[in-house]
Amino acid sequence: MAQDLVIGIDVGGQTAKCGVVDARGNIISQTVISSADTESPEAFVAGLAQALDRIIAEAGAEGRIRGIGVGIPNGNYYTGVVENAVNLTWAKAGNIPFARMLQDKMNGIPVSLTNDANAAAMGEMTYGAARGMKNFIMITLGTGVGSGIVINGEVVYGHDGFAGELGHTCAVRHNGRPCNCGKCGCLETYASATGVARTAREWLELTDEPSLLRSLDVIQSKNVYEAAKEGDKLALRVFEFTGRILGEKFADFIEFSAPEAIVLFGGLARAREFLEAPIRKAMDENVIPLWRGKVDLVFSSLKESDAAILGASALGW
Amino acid sequence: MAQDLVIGIDVGGQTAKCGVVDARGNIISQTVISSADTESPEAFVAGLAQALDRIIAEAGAEGRIRGIGVGIPNGNYYTGVVENAVNLTWAKAGNIPFARMLQDKMNGIPVSLTNDANAAAMGEMTYGAARGMKNFIMITLGTGVGSGIVINGEVVYGHDGFAGELGHTCAVRHNGRPCNCGKCGCLETYASATGVARTAREWLELTDEPSLLRSLDVIQSKNVYEAAKEGDKLALRVFEFTGRILGEKFADFIEFSAPEAIVLFGGLARAREFLEAPIRKAMDENVIPLWRGKVDLVFSSLKESDAAILGASALGW
């Protein structure tokens, strides 16, 4: 029987989602395991391999898995090593040769890995909104801002395997917000889900403007979204501000690689109704005339729950 | 006899420099013609073809030219068309199918063209400071700021052939200087030869600080350089400011494509003694820790007078 299936694994700080995927992007079987209950890389890989054996059996896919793709924080595509992944309990410090370890446990099925945003870009190109595109930039708007850059049909890994840290390019040069990376003013301190909540909290503190958000003890991006839905002026302005900052930076990105489109994905991208117009406006105002109105802004069409597995699986082909 | 030579042509607003080049980067014969004395593309191409025939004969290279490479403003690598090149008298408006026109006049020898900064990147990779590098960013500091981006050993042309307009990424977001492109705050309004002169003039106007530059009627970047050489404090600070702005933007560029090095070329790069330290400092302060101190800053080692021809010729192979 043809080896016509792949496995996609999305490893996050809390869970690892795994699925057996066919060439059309159907997930045939899947499971989720915890990625937070061990500090031993060996134990995590052993548990993961067991889970994979289970979903392979479920899919009747024994002997048909062509490759395994993994999206994982700080994953180096070139070496298969996970480097200083502070968000993973079992990989906090040092370098874990994750691809080799998993491949050994899986009887030699080839394992490729990259970071989650690059995996998302592969997913969009293989099954999603970027099918047929050879030049695009994937921006993932989640807790942080991730990016995967595709040029000539290939993900850009750069000299060392870590290219595409657009969330850490500078959005605000002076007096910018401190970022987890140690710098200040990074795009992700403003334009992530965390950034949106932070903007709202700052503005509530700085003014007396009435807002539905004032009644809440804790403000998260979803609260800002819900308030905007109800027409809350402050919440609406938070999205306008966030969209403008994104659009300003997208103009810079376009001037770098002249992509056909910028593709948005992730929790915050669900606020499309509030973000799309200000992003487009700022993008067009800040890009040189050559590209004005010519670069698409695309919102991912992949089903959110499947996208992470699909993205990683695209690496398996 | 083997076809072991190429021709490189660098077309600027005033002149076109042409040379016959061997595989080692030796210029065997060369000439310069005017590019400003006609408004007819046909006339310019006819004159150019005559000049090429002359240097081919001079080099004894009849029948040995493998290809012709052209570096030219607004040159589209994909189509061979020069699009709205406002700085060329014979190509001001509309699209000139320059590569095809020249190829026809040269009995079918293949002609490739790209913009001057991309040609410079090809030159550095083939004969210069970037030999052996597969990932680097070329920045040309001249009247403007040009850029050529190399990823995986290939120049990035993007979706439409015009990628790499890093001189027009935003250096100053608010109240930035107006740029020829129609935007404000572009990197090239600060970090070009023109930008350096502009900074000096602005600062002279805004303060009473004594400076050697006050005695001059017209201030150009070379005057600022000469004053800095003599220890003029204001001139020295102009270079520090210019270097800082460059370094800040280089950090963003590194976060995009994770290059091995940034390579500087062009008239203003000759002020290395004043620019290098502030660029390195700002680059390291503004890049995420992953790349701190790890990306080289390289000054072109190509002989300035030859570099334009060599760069273009690299396209001919």
Inter-chain touch B256–A259, beta carbons under 8 Å: no
Inter-chain touch A288–B159, beta carbons under 8 Å: no
Inter-chain touch A165–B290, beta carbons under 8 Å: yes
Alpha-carbon span B239 to A59, nearest angstrom: 65
Question: What is the distance in angstroms between the Cα of B10 and the nearest Cα belonging to chain A?
Answer: 23
- What residue spans of B207-261 are helical by DSSP H? 221-229, 233-257
Alpha-carbon span A300 to A298, nearest angstrom: 6
Q: Does B28 touch chain A (CB under 8 A)?
A: no
Q: Does B153 touch chain A (CB under 8 A)?
A: no
Q: Does A43 touch chain B (CB under 8 A)?
A: no
Alpha-carbon span B35 to B33, nearest angstrom: 6
- Predicted pLDDT of residue B143: 87
Q: In this structure, are residues A123 and A19 in contact, taking their beta carbons and an 8 Å threshold?
A: no
| Contacts with A282 from chain B: Cβ below 8 Å | none
Retrieve residue A145's tokens: 């801002």
Inter-chain touch B151–A158, beta carbons under 8 Å: yes
Half-sphere exposure (Cβ direction) of A178: Cα atoms closer than 13 Å: 2
Retrieve residue A220's tokens: 């998260």
Q: In this structure, are residues A72 and A98 in contact, taking their beta carbons and an 8 Å threshold?
A: yes
Residues lower than pLDDT 70 in chain B: 1-3
- Predicted pLDDT of residue B97: 97
- Predicted pLDDT of residue B268: 94
Inter-chain touch A165–B288, beta carbons under 8 Å: yes
Beta bridge partners of B67: B6
Query: Which of B166, B255, B286 is facing A166, going by the closest CB pair?
Result: B255
Residues lower than pLDDT 50 in chain A: 1
Question: What is the distance in angstroms between the Cα of A234 and the nearest Cα belonging to chain B?
Answer: 23
Q: What is the ipTM of this complex?
A: 0.92
Q: In this structure, are residues B285 and B293 in contact, taking their beta carbons and an 8 Å threshold?
A: no
Beta bridge partners of A178: A184
Inter-chain touch B135–A159, beta carbons under 8 Å: yes
CB atoms within 10 A of CB B210: 10
Question: What is the distance in angstroms between the Cα of B161 and the nearest Cα belonging to chain A?
Answer: 8
Query: Which of A135, A159, A252 is facing B252, going by the closest CB pair?
Result: A252
Question: What is the distance in angstroms between the Cα of A155 and the nearest Cα belonging to chain B?
Answer: 10
Identify which of A157, A35, A128, A156 has the alpha carbon closest to the alpha carbon of residue A85.
A35
A136-167: b (≥16 Cβ within 10 Å) or e = bbbbbbbbbbbbbbbbeeebbbbbbbbbbbbb
Task: With H, G, I as helix, E, B as strand and everything else as coil, classify residue A223.
Answer: helix
From residue A217, alpha-carbon distances to A193, A213, A214, A315, B63 in Å are: 17, 9, 8, 42, 81
Inter-chain touch A161–B253, beta carbons under 8 Å: no
- Predicted pLDDT of residue B110: 97
Sorted by sequence, the CB contacts under 8 Å of residue B205 that are 6+ apart come out as: none
Q: In this structure, are residues B309 and B21 in contact, taking their beta carbons and an 8 Å threshold?
A: yes
- Predicted pLDDT of residue B2: 56
From residue B309, alpha-carbon distances to A103, B9, B133, B313 in Å are: 50, 5, 21, 6
Inter-chain touch B286–A183, beta carbons under 8 Å: yes
Query: Which of A157, A162, A169 is facing B252, going by the closest CB pair?
Result: A169
Inter-chain touch B173–A260, beta carbons under 8 Å: no
- DSSP codes of every residue in B90-156: TSSSSEE-HHHHHHHHTTT--EEEE-HHHHHHHHHHHHSTTTT-SSEEEEEESSSEEEEEEETTEE-
Query: Which of A156, A183, A289 is facing B151, going by the closest CB pair?
Result: A156
Quickly tell me which residue has 């180096």 as its tokens: A76
Q: B residues 157-176 near A, CB within 8 Å?
A: 157-166, 168-170, 172-173
Query: Which of A166, A173, A288 is facing B256, going by the closest CB pair?
Result: A166
- Predicted pLDDT of residue A93: 76
- Predicted pLDDT of residue B308: 83
Size of interface A-B (CB pairs under 8 A): 119
For strand B154-155 and strand B145-151, is the pairing parallel, antiparallel, or unpaired? antiparallel
Q: A residues 256-285 near B, CB within 8 Å?
A: 256-260
Evaluate the CA torsion angle B310, B314, B315, B317 in order and state its sign: positive
- Chain B residue with minimal CA distance to A150? B158
